[in-house]
A and B are shown apart, each in its own frame.
Chain A
Amino acid sequence: MTEQNVKLRISNMTKRYSNGDGVSNIDLEVKEGEIITLLGPSGCGKSTILRTIGGFIGVDQGEILIDGHPVQDLPPEKRPTAMVFQSYNLWPHMTIYDNLAFGLQIKKVPKKEIAARIDRMLQLVHMEGHEKKYPTQLSGGQQQRIAIARALLLEPSVLLLDEPFSALDAKIRAQMREELKRIQQALKITVVFVTHDQEEAMALSDRIVVMNKGAIEQIGGPTEIYDCPRTRYVASFIGEMNFLPGENGTEVAVRPEDIWLDDALDPEMNAVIRTIMPLGHYTRVGLEVGDHFLRAYVPKTDAASLRVDDNVALTFHKKYVYDENGGLLQ
Chain B
Amino acid sequence: MKIPTPRSLYYGLGKANFIQYIIFAVFLLFFYLPLANLMMLAFGNKYEMPAVVPQEFGFKWWQFVLEQNSLISAIITSFVLAVIVTLVSLLICVPAAYALARFDFPGKSIFQFSFLFSNAFPKMGLYIAIAIVYYKLNLMGTWLGVILLHVINTMMFMTWIPMGAFRSVHRQQEESARDVGAGPFLTFMKITFPLALPGITVASIFTFLASIEEAQGTLMVGFPDIKTVPVELYGIIMQYPTTAGPVLSFILLIPALLILILGRKYISVDSISKGYNMH
Closest CB of chain B to A70's CB: distance in Å?
19
Whether the pair A54, B181 counts as a contact (CB closer than 8 A) is no
Closest CB of chain B to A279's CB: distance in Å?
39
Closest CB of chain B to A134's CB: distance in Å?
4
Q: With A87-B172, A88-B173, A88-B278 in contact, do A93 and B180 touch (Cβ < 8 Å)?
A: no
Contacts of A102 in B (CB 8 A): 177, 180, 182, 190
Closest CB of chain A to B169's CB: distance in Å?
9
Contacts of A135 in B (CB 8 A): 278
A91 contacts partner chain B, Cβ-Cβ < 8 Å: yes
A128 contacts partner chain B, Cβ-Cβ < 8 Å: no
Closest to A86 in B: B172
Q: 1/0 per position for A81-124, CB-CB distance to B under 8 A?
A: 11101011111110000000011001100000000000000000
Q: With A136-B11, A136-B14 in contact, do A93 and B179 touch (Cβ < 8 Å)?
A: no
Whether the pair A82, B180 counts as a contact (CB closer than 8 A) is yes
- Residues of chain A in range 50-82 having any CB-CB distance to chain B below 8 Å: 54-56, 75-77, 81-82
**A-side interface residues, number (CB < 8 Å):** 29
Closest CB of chain B to A328's CB: distance in Å?
39
Contacts of B177 in A (CB 8 A): 91, 102
Whether the pair A77, B181 counts as a contact (CB closer than 8 A) is yes
Closest CB of chain A to B13's CB: distance in Å?
9
B109 contacts partner chain A, Cβ-Cβ < 8 Å: no
Closest to B191 in A: A91
Closest CB of chain B to A249's CB: distance in Å?
47
Whether the pair A76, B178 counts as a contact (CB closer than 8 A) is yes
Whether the pair A150, B195 counts as a contact (CB closer than 8 A) is no
A137 contacts partner chain B, Cβ-Cβ < 8 Å: yes
Closest to B176 in A: A89
Whether the pair A92, B180 counts as a contact (CB closer than 8 A) is no
Contacts of A103 in B (CB 8 A): 180-182
B4 contacts partner chain A, Cβ-Cβ < 8 Å: yes
Contacts of A154 in B (CB 8 A): 180-181
Whether the pair B180, A150 counts as a contact (CB closer than 8 A) is yes
* Distance of A93 Cα from B179 Cα, bound (Å): 18
* Distance of A93 Cα from B7 Cα, bound (Å): 10
* Distance of A102 Cα from B187 Cα, bound (Å): 11
Whether the pair B14, A75 counts as a contact (CB closer than 8 A) is no
Whether the pair A82, B179 counts as a contact (CB closer than 8 A) is yes
Whether the pair A106, B172 counts as a contact (CB closer than 8 A) is no
Whether the pair B172, A75 counts as a contact (CB closer than 8 A) is no
Give the interface size class of chain B. 20 to 34
Whether the pair A106, B180 counts as a contact (CB closer than 8 A) is yes
B186 contacts partner chain A, Cβ-Cβ < 8 Å: yes
Q: Kindly count the residue-residue contacts between A and B in the assembled complex, taking CB atoms under 8 Å apart.
A: 83
Closest to B187 in A: A77
* Distance of A135 Cα from B12 Cα, bound (Å): 9
Contacts of B170 in A (CB 8 A): 88
Q: With A107-B181, A135-B278 in contact, do A93 and B176 touch (Cβ < 8 Å)?
A: no
- Residues of chain B in range 10-42 having any CB-CB distance to chain A below 8 Å: 11-12, 14
Q: 1/0 per position for B240-279, CB-CB distance to A under 8 A?
A: 0000000000000000000000000000000000001111
Closest CB of chain B to A158's CB: distance in Å?
12
Contact pick for A54, options B4, B12, B179, B186, CB 8 Å: B179
Whether the pair A88, B11 counts as a contact (CB closer than 8 A) is no
Closest CB of chain B to A168's CB: distance in Å?
14
Contacts of B278 in A (CB 8 A): 88, 90, 92, 135-136
Contacts of A93 in B (CB 8 A): 4, 8, 12, 194-195, 276
Q: 1/0 per position for B80-98, CB-CB distance to A under 8 A?
A: 0000000000000000000
Closest CB of chain A to B194's CB: distance in Å?
5
Q: With A91-B191, A102-B190 in contact, do A75 and B178 touch (Cβ < 8 Å)?
A: yes
Closest CB of chain B to A308's CB: distance in Å?
52
* Distance of A103 Cα from B194 Cα, bound (Å): 17
* Distance of A150 Cα from B194 Cα, bound (Å): 20
* Distance of A54 Cα from B12 Cα, bound (Å): 28
Q: With A85-B172, A135-B278 in contact, do A77 and B194 touch (Cβ < 8 Å)?
A: no
Whether the pair A136, B279 counts as a contact (CB closer than 8 A) is yes
Whether the pair B176, A134 counts as a contact (CB closer than 8 A) is no
Contact pick for B195, options A91, A107, A134, CB 8 Å: A91
* Distance of A91 Cα from B176 Cα, bound (Å): 9
Contacts beyond the supplied A85-B172, A136-B277: 15 A-B pairs with Cβ under 8 Å = A55-B178, A77-B181, A81-B179, A83-B175, A85-B175, A89-B173, A90-B176, A92-B276, A102-B182, A107-B181, A134-B11, A134-B12, A147-B176, A150-B180, A151-B179
A contact set with B: CB distance below 8 Å = 54-56, 75-77, 81-83, 85, 87-93, 102-103, 106-107, 134-137, 147, 150-151, 154
22 A-B Cβ contacts within 8 A?
Answer: A54-B175, A56-B178, A76-B178, A77-B178, A77-B182, A81-B179, A89-B173, A90-B173, A90-B176, A93-B4, A93-B194, A93-B276, A102-B182, A102-B190, A103-B180, A106-B182, A106-B186, A134-B11, A136-B278, A136-B279, A150-B176, A154-B181
The 9 closest A-B pairs by CB, nearest first: A103-B180, A88-B170, A134-B11, A76-B178, A88-B172, A106-B181, A85-B172, A92-B278, A77-B181
